[in-house]
Structure 1
Amino acid sequence: MCLAIPALLVEKRAHDQALVELGGIRKPISIALVPEANVGDYVIVHVGHAIGLLDPEEAQKTLALFAEMQSRTAEVQP
Structure 2
Amino acid sequence: MCLAIPALITEKKTNNMATTEILGVTRDVSLDLTPQAEVGDYVLVHAGFAIEVIDEEYAKETIELVKQFEDVAV
Residue of structure 1 equivalent to 2:44:
44
Name the structure with the higher helix share. 1
Give me the TM-score of the superposition, normalised by structure 1.
Answer: 0.88
Q: Matches of 1:24 and 1:64 in 2, distance apart? A: 13
Moved over 3 A (4+): none
Where structure 2 has 5 or more consecutive residues not aligned to the other structure, the ranges are none
Amino acid of the residue matched to residue 65 of structure 1?
A: L
Alignment partners' CA distance in 2, 1:6 and 1:46 = 9
Alpha-carbon shift at residue 34 of structure 1 (Å): 0.4
Residue aligned with 1:61, SS: helix
Q: CA RMSD in A?
A: 1.2
Tell which structure's C-alpha radius of gyration is larger.
Answer: 1
CA distance in 1, matches of 2:14, 2:38: 13
Secondary structure at the aligned position of 1:32 is classed as coil
In the aligned structure 2, how far is the partner of 1:67 from the partner of 1:2? 17
Once the two structures are TM-superposed, the CA of residue 69 in structure 1 deviates from its matched residue by 2.2
Identity %: 43
Are positions 1:34 and 2:34 aligned together? yes
